[in-house]
Amino acid sequence: MTDTTNISGPGPRAARGGSAARRALRKSGPKASAVRAGMPGGTYRPLSEQDMKRIHHTALDVLEKLGVGEPIPEILEVALPRGCWVNSQGRLCFPRALVEDILAGACRSYTAYGVSPEHDLEIGGDRVNFATAGEAIKVLDFHSGEYRPSTLLDLYDFARLADRLEHVHCFGQTIVATDMPDRLTSDFNVAYACLAGTQKSFGVSIENVEHHARLISFFDAFLGGEGKFVERPFCVIGGCPIVSPLRFGKENAEVMVANARLGLCIDPAIAAQAGATAPAALAGTLVQTVAETLVTLIVGNLITPGLPVSFGIWPFVSDLRTGAFTGGGGEEALLTAAAVQMCRFYDLPSSVGAGMTDAKAIDAQAGYEKGVTVTLAAVAGGNYVSECCGMMASLIGCSVEAMVIDNDMLGNIQRVLKGIDVSDETLSFDEIARAIAGPGHYLGSPKTLELMETEYIYPHIADRDSMNGWQSRGSPDIRQAARVRAQEILSAHYPAYIDPATDAKLRERFPILLKAEDMKAGNGRW
Amino acid sequence: MTDTTNISGPGPRAARGGSAARRALRKSGPKASAVRAGMPGGTYRPLSEQDMKRIHHTALDVLEKLGVGEPIPEILEVALPRGCWVNSQGRLCFPRALVEDILAGACRSYTAYGVSPEHDLEIGGDRVNFATAGEAIKVLDFHSGEYRPSTLLDLYDFARLADRLEHVHCFGQTIVATDMPDRLTSDFNVAYACLAGTQKSFGVSIENVEHHARLISFFDAFLGGEGKFVERPFCVIGGCPIVSPLRFGKENAEVMVANARLGLCIDPAIAAQAGATAPAALAGTLVQTVAETLVTLIVGNLITPGLPVSFGIWPFVSDLRTGAFTGGGGEEALLTAAAVQMCRFYDLPSSVGAGMTDAKAIDAQAGYEKGVTVTLAAVAGGNYVSECCGMMASLIGCSVEAMVIDNDMLGNIQRVLKGIDVSDETLSFDEIARAIAGPGHYLGSPKTLELMETEYIYPHIADRDSMNGWQSRGSPDIRQAARVRAQEILSAHYPAYIDPATDAKLRERFPILLKAEDMKAGNGRW
């Protein structure tokens, strides 16, 4: 397009006048946020009703006729009295009537508590929330620009950063602290790093059920009293209790049982991988992951009827040329959206993964793979769209620059979710009549000024400059702006979310390895 | 995620065995293309039925009560006898009954002819096709990495490149040839460059109606006979006949009339810009652009009932802080998808713009802005999703590297459109049973091998390498792979689409400025 065609009505003078008025208004500060957590999705539906019914019925067949291998005693104990049986291959089979009963009585919506109530999220319905996640083992180092093993300090930094990114609603564990001496120490420290860095809801995946009670006692110590955590559990504990295809993983299954017994939310990530640990046909992968995810719903409800269970259906995709996980392709985008649609079919709270680019560099590929996958998971109506901020390299790495960039992208997607408000006023007949009879444009109109902060959102770092402006700034890539913003936040935002007295108590009772000097400004790291 | 969790079932040995079989199969070459032009959209619907009806009715009110300014005599001549009238402000008003009649009888689907029949596209229904477009005035120079004015030779190169990119189905004019001495010379040369570079359907926007007949005689000369072009018009001629808000632009309106009189397709791009030349309320922008686009449908059908008219509704968005066009935000993505939905509401062939990033650099922003906007236009079911390949900098620039990268993205999006095939076989009950009873995975299964080329698509340049593989290649950004692929194509693909005898005749009759030495390999440009 030529420079002159984009505003065909008014001349430059009119445009300048309107612009001055808008700048003045804008200076008075934002009045209302155009978007918030829980914007509605559900407007994208790749599967037909008939497709969903067939997937559902086949999944029930799988659970009844093929069952799930290696059931643990704690699950057999609650399942067998309800009509389940162990078949000749030692697999636990679930009668379809039981599954249907549980589906009918399952929890439809629950509150995911923030550490502070302002970050509480309602999980269910068509409400879309964005969460980090990923448990990467590497970090794209801010200073060297190279991938290196991720550390506890990285996790603290990611938590502080996510705390300040308004479109990240929940802080799933972005990375593994690979510098911990053992897993129990890691579990305490991961929890500590999250609490120190953010007041948003977060998640910690633990090694085994032995650590479950100990982690809860850590949270109780933070809250200053035994039993306090389960009253307002701000952390989701656990990993994936299913090893695909269709068998229990002992340690995580035990953790799932422990959660259910305490009434704590189960939020698994059932990540069967099409072409490797799930059928290559995408419909078959849906069948298997629906069946596997139903198992967590069943177990949770057998132990505690009505338990909050997030239907954590995370179908993954292989590049069939190599068998490797590939998170950025069209197959993944489609499969994830279809998985969300299955959750909506069941009217269950959902969790899916999206934004899992295969790019290692923060480049156009990273951008479009995240854009396509997160958009579709969101417009499908995923309640927790996880992995969607900061992840790189097929979930092997995480990056602060990527996180800052992705936050702007999530803002765009939330604006999409907000949808188009159609009313007598917004249909704008009178406004159109005024423009035609008057100035021939809408730039300085009171209505335009009024809608500036409610109908439109503005990115923090995305380039909307003129060509000349961009060139005069040295023709930067968005990564440069992301570095500036990340550094601004990370050099300044050292929140005091753990008060000194509590901190001293926690450090006394638990092997906390995050050093106090790394947790305040001027430490030379940023 | 850790390296070990992505394939939880089989061990590395099993994975290697399956991989060898897949590599062997893959060597035998692709069997079937997983995607093609015209994959179905329409599964994303941001507007409710009631929303669409209200937008429709308000648009009819606008046409009846406010009318369209500066009508040209050729349009008055056909409109007034059909019950239209000119109001006291000199604006042409359209009675709603007439508009409804025309909507009822309008062309629902038409063939957009390629220069060769293999590139014919069926435009209408839920079929999604991707087109370049944009008429940028700059090119991001491949060699210098800087933006510079675009030239005729650039257009030829873009045409050759698009000719080889399988997910670009139609070649809209990417750039303006700013090095032409006058517009008539430009019109001939733009047409020549397109014909020389591609056999896909293309578009040329001309300055005024005087050039219309002359351009057609140029095409007739290419085809070797007067009247041949209108039999199989492989080029859409014209610009935007409406100046927003709601008045005719004389030159392009005359071109529209000339097209309609010859039965040639009208394919405008009605680009009213929310907050500048359209209301700031997105619903109001839809009302105005629907009304404006209906005008082209009405005029086309008044002149030639049933004329192929693409409902070219391209609502644009302003960044209200500056009034400047911004093509990459969530507002644009949503508005474009809603515009597509209005076309589906009318069951008319549609054309929209998407992929109009505001980024100047080929970076993560460019990626996600294109990813979000093109995805939603496609899943909404846009018949022509234009601007979606190669455009940069709010349509000011175009880039060969971006075009090659975007082609991979379009492949992903087409895979999304293809959807999930749900059948007894793909539901995979037996396949799951076999995996459980047998190897515990699906890697070497005959079904997996069978589906490799039909259920999955593979990018040309997107990075799916391992971390080590990527690092050993010097940790490249996708732009580096794009440079290699663009150079491979552009240094080799000099098609002989204009045979020498025809070429001589064209050069004799028309002022063709593209030099023969620039149109063959080894010219030192690539």
Q: Given an 8 Å threshold on Cβ–Cβ distance, is B423 in contact with A46?
A: no
Using alpha carbons, select from A156, A86, A332, A120 the residue that is nearest to residue B457: A332
Chain A environment of B146 (Cβ under 8 Å): 475
Angle made by CA atoms B337, B339, B343, in degrees to the nearest 5: 115
Q: Which residues of B touch A315 (CB under 8 A)?
A: none
Shortest Cα distance, chain A CAs vs residue B499, angstroms: 32
Query: Nearest-CA residue of chain B relative to A436?
Result: B245
On whether the CB atoms of residues B123 and B112 are closer than 8 A, the answer is yes
Task: With CB atoms and an 8 Å threshold, state whether B443 touches A323.
Answer: yes
- What pLDDT is attached to residue B24? 57
- CA of B178: how far to CAs of A92, A170, B240, B381, in Å? 72, 50, 20, 34
- Which of the four pLDDT bands, split at 50, 70 and 90, describes residue B34? confident
Kindly list the residues from chain B whose CB atom is less than 8 angstroms away from the CB atom of residue A331.
415, 455-457
A394, burial (CB in 10 Å: exposed 0-12, middle 13-18, buried 19+) = buried
B428: closest CA of chain A, how far (Å): 5
**Amino acid A35: pLDDT:** 86
- Lookup: tokens for A38: 């829980």
Check if the beta carbon of residue B217 is closer than 8 Å to that of residue B186. Answer: no
Across the interface, whether the CB atoms of A432 and B284 are under 8 A apart is answered yes
Residue among A2, A423, A452 whose CB faces B137 most closely: A2
Asked, for residue A44, whether it belongs to a domain, the answer is no
Asked if B376 contacts A379 with a C-beta cutoff of 8 angstroms, the reply is yes
Average pLDDT (B169-183) is 97
CA-based nearest distance A11→chain B, Å: 11
Out of A19, A361, A435, name the one closest to residue B245 (CB).
Answer: A435
Compute the nearest-CA separation of A499 from chain B (Å).
32
Per CB-CB distance under 8 Å, the chain A contacts of B252 are: none
Contact flag B281-A147 (C-beta cutoff 8 Å): no
Residue A135 within any structural domain of the chain = yes
In 3D, which of B197, B201, B136, B163 has the Cα closest to residue B390?
B136
pTM of the model: 0.95
Q: Which domain holds residue A180?
A: 54-418
Q: What are A330-346's pLDDT values in tens digits?
A: 999 999 999 999 999 99
Q: Number of A:B CB contacts under 8 A?
A: 543
- Asked if the Cβ–Cβ distance from B335 to A420 is below 8 Å, we say yes
pLDDT at A2: 42
pLDDT-wise least confident of A446-455, A476-485, B32-41, B128-137:
B32-41
Residue A154, min C-alpha distance to chain B (Å): 15
Contact B279, B234 (CB under 8 A): no
Compute the distance between CA of residue B517 and CA of residue B496 in angstroms, rounded to an integer: 13
pLDDT at residue A6 greater than cutoff 80: no
| pLDDT class of B11 with cuts at 50, 70, 90 | very low
Interface of B with A in 166-225 (CB under 8 A): 176
- For residue B163, is pLDDT > 80? yes
Q: What percent of chain B has pLDDT over 70?
A: 94
Residue B289 has pLDDT above 50, yes or no: yes
The answer to whether position B394 is within a domain reads yes
Quote the pLDDT of residue B36. 86
- C-alpha B187/C-alpha A473 separation (Å) is 36
pLDDT band at B238 (very low <50, low <70, confident <90, very high): confident
pLDDT at B50: 98
Residues B42, B340: Cα–Cα separation, whole Å = 9
Residues 226-285 of A with CB under 8 A from B: 240, 243-246, 249, 271, 273, 275-285
pLDDT recorded at residue A17: 41
Does B218 fall in a domain?
A: yes
CA distance A141 to chain B (A): 14
Task: Name the nearest CA neighbour of A205 among A174, A246, A159.
Answer: A174
Flag if B276 and A375 touch (Cβ within 8 Å). Answer: no
In a domain, B292, yes or no: yes
CA B120 to chain centre: 14
**ipTM exceeding the 0.85 mark:** yes
Contacts of B424 (CB under 8 A, 6+ apart): none
* A415 with B69: Cβ contact below 8 A: no
How confident is residue B3, by pLDDT bands cut at 50, 70 and 90? very low
Answer yes or no: are the C-beta atoms of A98 and A329 closer than 8 Å: no
CA distances from B94 to A9, A183, B82 (A): 22, 74, 9
Q: How confident is the model at residue A239 (pLDDT cuts 50, 70, 90)?
A: confident
pLDDT, tens only, A142-152 = 999 999 999 99
d(CA B262, CA B240): 18
For B372, which residue in chain A has the nearest alpha carbon? Answer: A371
Looking at the predicted structure, is the pLDDT value of residue B112 above 50? yes
Tokens of B162: 């698009």
Mean of all residue pLDDT scores within chain A: 94
Query: Which residue blocks in B421-526 are alpha helix, DSSP H?
Result: 424-427, 429-437, 446-451, 467-472, 478-492, 500-509
Q: B275: which 2 tokens?
A: 């907050």
B283 CB neighbours in chain A (<8 A) are: 420-423, 426-428
Residues 13-32 of B with CB under 8 A from A: 15, 18-19, 22-23, 26
Give the pLDDT score at B21.
56
Nearest CA to B275 among B316, B328, B329?
B316
The whole-number average pLDDT for the span A208-221 is: 96
Q: Is residue A209 part of a domain?
A: yes
Structural domain includes residue A502:
no
Q: Average pLDDT of A201-212?
A: 94
Position A22 scores a pLDDT of 53
Cα–Cα dist A479/B153, whole Å: 32
> For B380-407, what is each residue's pLDDT tens digit?
999 999 999 999 999 999 999 999 999 9
Residue B17 has pLDDT above 80, yes or no: no
**Is residue A36 very low, low, confident or very high in pLDDT (cuts 50, 70, 90)?**
confident
Residue percentage of chain A with pLDDT more than 70: 94
Is it the case that residue A224 has pLDDT exceeding 90? yes
How close B32 gets to chain A, by Cα (Å)? Answer: 15
A24 part of a folded domain:
no
pLDDT at B369 over 60: yes
Q: Tens digit of pLDDT for each residue in B330-365?
A: 999 999 999 999 999 999 999 999 999 999 999 999
* Nearest chain A residue to B6, by CA: A325
Q: Is the Cβ of A49 closer than 8 Å to some Cβ of chain B?
A: no
Please, what's the largest Cα pairwise distance for chain B? Answer: 83
pLDDT of the residue at A20: 60
Collect all residues of chain B within an 8 Å Cβ-Cβ radius of residue A329. Answer: 412, 415, 456-457, 459
CA distance B168 to B96: 38
Q: What's the domain count of chain B?
A: 1
Q: In the structure, what pLDDT confidence band is assigned to residue A30 with cuts at 50, 70 and 90?
A: very low
Query: What residues in A contact B61, CB-CB < 8 Å?
Result: 429
Nearest to A330 among B136, B405, B457 (CB): B457
Please give the structure tokens belonging to residue B128: 């999604």
Distance of CA B58 to the CA centre of its chain: 29
Q: What pLDDT score does A270 carry? A: 97
Beta-sheet pairing, A121-124 with A138-140: unpaired
pLDDT of residue A365: 98
> Could you tell me the CATH number of the domain that includes residue B297?
3.20.20.480
Output the average pLDDT for chain B.
94
Contacting residues of B for A431, CB less than 8 Å apart: 279, 281, 284
pLDDT in tens, A310-330: 999 999 999 999 999 999 999
User: Cβ B22–A412 below 8 Å, yes or no?
Assistant: no
pLDDT tops 90 at residue B13: no
Element (H, E) at A214: helix A210-223
